[in-house]
Structure 1
Amino acid sequence: MKIIVVFKWSRNPQDARVGVDGTVNWQGVKMAANDDDPTAMEIACSIADGGEVIGLTVNDGDAAWAAARGAARTVMISDAQTDVNSSVTGSVLAAAIRRVEGVDAVLIGDSAWDYGVVSALAGQLGWPAVAGVVSAMKGQDCLRVTRKMGSASQVLEVKGPVVLAVSASRAEQNVPGMKEVLAARKKPVEKLILADLGLTPETTVNSKGTRFPDTPPARIIDGSDPMTACEQLVAALRADGVL
């Protein structure tokens, strides 16, 4: 099988600086591996079955990250903008994936950092997608994919090409050491620019303003007197039509 793993495709929202006017400043913030990326690589290597695992990243993603975890080579789109919307990022990733012939599956972290990219990527490729994937194994002529749905698990049999959005259930167990990282830097890296993909760089997306959602203010009930607090709670629930 030939599998592409998208890694370091988003930035940690905690690293953003938010101004008093609501504008978000990403200056100096680099692409980071989210909690789901290592699991995506682990699943890809387990189902490759002697095939090829290819890492795909954008902008300032570390090319050795996937290589140190089993990728045979890495593709990097060096001039992809990091401050554009999810649909643009999804289209850039899809264009790079279409350059690779015979791809059976694309794995990407089902990251809470930017849900939109996963949907945009699957839509741009026109492939079926499975979200919330926690594990997968290669069947005779399909992939047996396990996804988590709330407290329940569901096993699906899917045929490629397919997008698997991976959700990690635990932290990375086997972090590569210095030896693996140094060896990874010797693996092939293909650096592309948007022009190679037939795309035009997008201009920066500017925030036009922000506001809080229109929600009623919370009502806080004093719990010092339990009986009175219960009466007030029941009265409030009745007033809102809950009871």
Structure 2
Amino acid sequence: MDVVVLVKYVPDPAGTPKLGEDFLVVREGTDGTLDPGDEYAVEAGLRTVEAHGGEVTLVSMGPEVAMTAIRKGLSMGAHRGVLVTDPALRGADALATARVLAAAVARRPYDLIFTGSESTDGSTGTVPMAVAGILGIPALTFARKVEVAEGAVRIERQTDLGYDVIEAPTPALVSVTASAAEPRYATLKGIMAAKSKPVEQLSLADLGLDAAAVAPTQRVVGITPAPSKGPGEIVQDGDGAVARIVDLLVEAKVI
């Protein structure tokens, strides 16, 4: 079984992301790592091939420093990586990212694509579905449990009230939640082995794409700090208390 896991290099979640003058996140020269949400996807992919045979390929898009994220996934046990990096991709939005990732995935046969539910930096949560749409395959999202059988994949989709059982034929894309599989720790042996595992580096030209095809359709034009919260108000019991509470709820547009 050929499994692909889409992974992303993100600023260290424990730190504070830096923005450049163009309001884009500065990724070069800053501490970064494999997106924590993608670790669950890597684990789901590894468990799938451990149960059914095959290999896991990590696919990422970003600057060359994004190789850090791929190497971490390789140290967990993935077999190979693909990094798409090109100066024209700076500032790429979710749709452009999906087009590039889909083009990279489509170069080879695959049975399943695993992703996280959303990245910790952009948090749009739209890339997985966009990739599936471009590839013309089913998208099974927010999986808390994944079962793979011959020619099909079944998931339990997390909902506010419980879960739905969803099944689709393969090839398919599955986005997983933190409940799907606890990521394994990379062993020293795995870390050393990751250094020699193959990672293919591609440009837009290698994918047959030009800059115009992946130009962002949206951009950040300004940043405004969130307004600070004022002190709360304590409403004392007594005449007029109910009326004051109602007024406060109206001001807050709750009622």
What TM-score comes out, normalization by structure 1 length? 0.81
Report deviation, 1:125.
Answer: 1.5
Report deviation, 1:128.
Answer: 1.4
Pairs within 5 Å for 1:162-173: 162-169=172-179, 173=183
Match of 2:126 among 116, 125, 136: 116
Report deviation, 1:157.
Answer: 1.9
Separation of aligned partners in 1, 2:146 and 2:180? 16
Offset from partner CA, 1:6-54 (integer Å, 9 cap, x none): 11255568643358x9934525347632222111111112222111211
* AA of the residue aligned to 1:51: G
Partner of 1:176: 186
Tell me if the contact between 2:140 and 2:174 (Cα under 8 Å) persists in the aligned partners. yes
Report deviation, 1:197.
Answer: 0.1
Distance 1:187 1:34, change over 3 A: same
Q: Sequence identity of aligned pairs in percent?
A: 27
Report deviation, 1:76.
Answer: 1.5
Separation of aligned partners in 2, 1:232 and 1:184? 63
Separation of aligned partners in 1, 2:197 and 2:130? 30
Report deviation, 1:209.
Answer: 3.2
Separation of aligned partners in 2, 1:83 and 1:222? 43
Partner of 2:245: 233
Distance 1:77 1:206, change over 3 A: same
Report deviation, 1:119.
Answer: 3.0
The reply to whether residue 104 of structure 1 matches residue 115 of structure 2 is no
The reply to whether residue 36 of structure 1 matches residue 47 of structure 2 is no
Report deviation, 1:221.
Answer: 6.6
Distance 1:54 1:240, change over 3 A: closer
The reply to whether residue 158 of structure 1 matches residue 168 of structure 2 is yes
The reply to whether residue 88 of structure 1 matches residue 100 of structure 2 is no
Separation of aligned partners in 2, 1:221 and 1:231? 17
The reply to whether residue 52 of structure 1 matches residue 55 of structure 2 is yes
Separation of aligned partners in 2, 1:239 and 1:68? 53
Separation of aligned partners in 2, 1:31 and 1:83? 17
Tell me if the contact between 2:85 and 2:202 (Cα under 8 Å) persists in the aligned partners. yes
Partner of 1:137: 147
* AA of the residue aligned to 1:226: D
DSSP-derived class of the 2:103 partner: helix
DSSP-derived class of the 1:146 partner: strand
Partner of 1:149: 159
Distance 1:112 1:56, change over 3 A: closer
* AA of the residue aligned to 1:233: I
Report deviation, 1:133.
Answer: 1.3
* AA of the residue aligned to 1:100: R
Separation of aligned partners in 2, 1:224 and 1:174? 51
Partner of 1:65: 72
Separation of aligned partners in 2, 1:139 and 1:133? 16
Separation of aligned partners in 2, 1:141 and 1:23? 45
Distance 1:170 1:144, change over 3 A: closer
Separation of aligned partners in 1, 2:24 and 2:71? 29
Tell me if the contact between 2:156 and 2:164 (Cα under 8 Å) persists in the aligned partners. yes
Offset from partner CA, 1:82-129 (integer Å, 9 cap, x none): 42211111111000001012x111111112533232232222212211
Separation of aligned partners in 2, 1:27 and 1:193? 18
Bigger drift between 106-115 and 26-35 goes to 26-35
DSSP-derived class of the 1:42 partner: helix
The reply to whether residue 207 of structure 1 matches residue 207 of structure 2 is no
Bigger drift between 88-97 and 6-15 goes to 6-15
Task: Give the unaligned 5+ runs of structure 1.
Answer: none
What TM-score comes out, normalization by structure 2 length? 0.77
